[in-house]
Amino acid sequence: MQIKKASFLRGAVGPSQYPDDGFPEIALVGRSNVGKSSLINRLINRKNLARTSAQPGKTQQLNYYAIQSDIAPFYLVDCPGYGYARVSRTEKEKWQAFIEKYLANRVPLVLVLQVIDIRHEPSKDDIAMFNWLMDQDLPVAVVATKADKVPKGKWQAHTSKIMRALDSPKKPLIFSAESGIGLDQLKDLIEELVEP
Ligand code: GDP
């Protein structure tokens, strides 16, 4: 798959702002600072279309990126990062309800990319999100990012740990926004799902 064009559509704060053209949507979830924006920028080959978080945890909107590829048009939807310590519990619960409502009800949603840092054990929030996605029967691919920060010989051990913590038999996709590791695999995965 080749990305022809990518643009920021809007930060949607509710369903009335979601697009109505029915193009497939791929959502990204992950804790704040895990590297979702960097993944988007690498995928669309732009340095700074998705703003890497100056203010982690502050985006309470679904950031819609409109993508034109040689296969089909689709949207990347960056969900607010979770697990940011410096917001109140009520605030957290509000965001969570907002994200969950979108994920559980959004018809054009074809894939959720759950982005996890390859270096660390999944957090409680990561595990809770993964379990919730499984309970909803949503199609999920776990992306283990920042792979450039771990020597290649240790990738396997790290991904096994992630699989064990999530209790998932599926191997995470090993990725790095820095080096481009896993980019082709990620594109192949997206291509399969957005094909008309
Ligand atoms: P977001 O909050 O999930 O959107 O995270 P960002 O994309 O803003 O990334 C947070 C920080 O991690 C930034 O300083 C990025 O440069 C860095 N980062 C993101 N992805 C990678 C990666 O694959 N490798 C390395 N080494 N750093 C990364």
- pLDDT (0 to 100) of residue 54: 46
Highest mean pLDDT out of 58-67, 85-94, 95-104, 186-195? 186-195
Indicate yes or no: pTM above 0.90: yes
ipTM metric: 0.99
Angle, nearest 10°, between helix axes 183-194 and 36-43? 80
Tokens 């991904």 locate to 159
For ligand 1, atom 8, which residue shows the shortest CA distance?
A: 52
Give the DSSP per-residue string, 6-38. Answer: EEEEEEESSGGGS--S---EEEEEEBTTSSHHH
How many whole angstroms separate alpha carbon 120 and alpha carbon 150? 10
Tell me if 114 CB under 6 Å of ligand 1: no
Q: Which of 29, 42, 52, 118 to probe ligand 1 with, by most ligand atoms within 8 A of CB?
A: 52
pLDDT tens for residues 139-154?
999 999 999 999 999 9
DSSP 3-state of 3: strand
Q: Are 168 and 161 in contact (CB under 8 A)?
A: no
**59: confidence class by pLDDT, cuts 50, 70, 90:** low
Q: What residues pair up with 26 in beta bridges, in sequence order?
A: 76, 111
Tell me if 119 CB under 6 Å of ligand 1: no
The parent domain of residue 59 ranges over: 3-194
CA 148 from chain centre, in angstroms, equals 18
Which CATH number belongs to the domain containing residue 174 in this structure? Answer: 3.40.50.300
Tell me if 177 CB under 6 Å of ligand 1: yes
For the chain, the domain total comes to 1
For ligand 1, atom 2, which residue shows the shortest CA distance?
A: 33
In angstroms, what is the span from residue 163 Cα to ligand 1's centroid?
Answer: 22
